[in-house]
Structure 1
Amino acid sequence: MTVRDVVLQIAQVGFTIGAAPLIQGCIVQFEERVQRGRGPGIFQPYRDLWKLFHKQIVVPETASWLFWIAPVVAFVCMMTVPMLIPVLTNFPLPLSNMGDILGGGLILTLGSFMITLAGLDSGSAYGGIGSSRSAIISILAEPTLILVFVGITLFARSMLPFVVNHLLVAKPAVYLGPAHLFLVAAFFILLTVETDKLPIHSSTHIEVYMIEEARILEYSGPLYGLLKWASMMKQFVLYTIFCNVLALPWFMSSRGLAVGVIGAGIAVIVKFVLVAGAIVVVDTIQSRLRFYRYQEPLAASFLLAVLAIISTQIG
């Protein structure tokens, strides 16, 4: 372990924390442009967080200690995952050996689980509805996410995301192989689910069919700000896994020099913006589905992950 490695480790976590609201702002701007609106600026999420952290906290009388710690646990979980995955560098950093890609998925699930419990703990009707709907979707979404990670592990013969990145960069035949393409398609569908872009969600807090927003509707002030920030960071982490491990594993720093790290940060933003644009277009052109049809895209994602595993074993 060197001082450079420690600085790079801190830089990856800091970059995730700092850039996550920017990606959210770009996504909102894309949505408004596609729908022929003007929309807020791409830096609006930063202003929203600033306002939330300067407001008063109002807690329901029925809430317990779980209501207080859920935002902190969710935020810390989203800070932990960037230590395990390639964000700016394509080589492991000091704390990367704490866990593998399955461990990162488990930490992401833990953060979401705590928010679900907090939604139920608040005693609000909307919190209960949002948590129940989220749990129903998770029945298919979380196993599919784990299955995708298993598929990645099988075709790379390793559970470390850095090995997968190196394999795809070094071997174009593997990158263009059916197993990898199936995994990319499966993970893309999961991105729409985990980032509230499945056409049964509503990302606003004023519509009956909201899911993620319903779970945190009773929060306010800094606690609400932590949850919103954690949600943006989760989106950033999932985009990182999709781009840097699967779909676009290039343009990362291989030596850890300052110029390479800055270039990798710019490349990450560009890659995320391209993926976000594709997701926004897909979400916008689809008609909104009834809630009971949530299993259709998730079942397709599950099937694609299974096909990826079969292709790996046959090939």
Structure 2
Amino acid sequence: MWRDIAAQVAQVLAALLLSPLLQGFIHRYEERAQRARGPSLLQPYRDLRKLFRKQLVVPKTAGWIFWTAPVVAFTAMLTVPILIPVLTDYPLPLSDMGDILGGGLILTLGTFFINLAALDTGSAYGGIGASRTVMITILAEPTLILVFVGITLMAHAMLPFVVNHLLVAHPEVYLGPTHLFLVAAFFVLLLTETDRLPIHSSTHIEVYMIEEARILEYSGPLLGLLKWASMMKQFILYTIFCHVLLLPWGLSHQGTIVGIGGAILGIGVKFGVVACAVIVVETAQSRLRFYRYQEPLAAAFMLAVLAIVANQIR
């Protein structure tokens, strides 16, 4: 039992400590793909340290939601790794608190509070970011629900560990059309939720700002919490995509130190492969007008529907 508790703590620490490294990898090789030198892999750690050491400046119009949102978002991202297979392929002591849908709801809770905080101060930029996020969510959330329905129908369970075991044990299911459609649909959602669609921009340019516009009024430690929560959300989505759908191998079977170490090395390889694919797609795509955001999301919606249909006719 103590081994399982230690493994569960290690899962949370992995999401907490490795998420900035994943962000640094993406930023570095995204710049390399554009023939630039790119920042160091450790730059996100330096940025977080700088933010936590800065003075906190709060708008006069900010209410209690403005103060609460970073803490809620950060806490939500610390909760989800308890429910999903980050390092082990078997449920840990607290993994039965929720299924894959519960994890999705917790992720959405953090986004919801950040949207409220963006509107709380009355800033024009916050309103722009929150409204754009909600517009994208209108199509992204139904697609995510359909993906979860497709996973449930395929595995006859909503527990991510069951899906992991099914795909590892049955290659015919892994190579089946249901699973392939679900992978394609979730990949589009991964691009959407990590701000990698060609309508997003991580720079402070008004016409493209979505995520940055929502947190533009924050500074200091509160901004550090929001940035760190965003990195952990990205890490969690990569974990679900790799360990539940795309690359379900390489997790620890017994929670030993050697197994946990091997799983961490596996995370580096698998996340690196997916991150490279994301970088290629993002770099190869031309910048789109914001109101064309529905095109990739509609395609993902149809892929999720096809996954459900393929599961019913097989």
Counterpart amino acid of 2:71?
V
Counterpart residue number, 2:57: 58
- Alignment partner of 1:200: what SS? coil
Higher mean displacement: 161-170 or 196-205: 196-205
Once the two structures are superposed, residues 141-171 of structure 1 have per-residue CA deviations (whole angstroms, 9 ceiling, x without a partner) of: 1111121111111100001000000000000
Q: CA deviation at 1:314?
A: 1.1
- Alignment partner of 2:15: what SS? helix
Runs of 4+ in 1 over 4 A off after TM superposition: none
Counterpart residue number, 1:231: 230
- In the TM superposition, 1:93-112 aligns within 5 A as 93-112=92-111
2 CA distance for matches of 1:108 and 1:310?
Answer: 27
Task: State TM-score, norm by structure 2.
Answer: 0.99
Counterpart residue number, 2:151: 152
Instruction: Say whether 1:216 aligns with 2:203.
Output: no
1 CA distance for matches of 2:283 and 2:10?
Answer: 34
Count of aligned pairs between the two proteins: 314
Counterpart amino acid of 2:268?
I
Counterpart residue number, 2:175: 176
Counterpart residue number, 2:25: 26
Counterpart residue number, 1:79: 78
Counterpart residue number, 2:309: 310
Counterpart amino acid of 1:281?
V
- In the TM superposition, 1:120-131 aligns within 5 A as 120-131=119-130
Once the two structures are superposed, residues 162-219 of structure 1 have per-residue CA deviations (whole angstroms, 9 ceiling, x without a partner) of: 0000000000000000000000000001111000000000012244311001000000
Counterpart amino acid of 1:35?
Q
Counterpart residue number, 1:240: 239
Q: Percent identity?
A: 72
- Alignment partner of 1:229: what SS? helix
Q: CA deviation at 1:39?
A: 1.4
1 CA distance for matches of 2:224 and 2:232?
Answer: 12
Counterpart residue number, 1:192: 191
Instruction: Say whether 1:48 aligns with 2:47.
Output: yes
Instruction: Say whether 1:287 aligns with 2:286.
Output: yes
Counterpart amino acid of 1:254?
H
Counterpart residue number, 1:162: 161
Contact 1:109–1:142 (CA under 8 A) maintained in structure 2: no
Q: CA deviation at 1:313?
A: 1.1
Counterpart residue number, 1:138: 137
Task: State TM-score, norm by structure 1.
Answer: 0.99
Once the two structures are superposed, residues 86-110 of structure 1 have per-residue CA deviations (whole angstroms, 9 ceiling, x without a partner) of: 0000000001000000000000011
2 CA distance for matches of 1:265 and 1:150?
Answer: 29
Once the two structures are superposed, residues 47-73 of structure 1 have per-residue CA deviations (whole angstroms, 9 ceiling, x without a partner) of: 000000001111111110000000000
Once the two structures are superposed, residues 217-266 of structure 1 have per-residue CA deviations (whole angstroms, 9 ceiling, x without a partner) of: 00000000000000000000000000000000001101111001101011
Contact 1:89–1:256 (CA under 8 A) maintained in structure 2: yes
Counterpart amino acid of 2:24?
G
Instruction: Say whether 1:255 aligns with 2:261.
Output: no
1 CA distance for matches of 2:204 and 2:249?
Answer: 37
Counterpart amino acid of 2:40?
G
Contact 1:200–1:291 (CA under 8 A) maintained in structure 2: yes
Counterpart amino acid of 1:198?
L
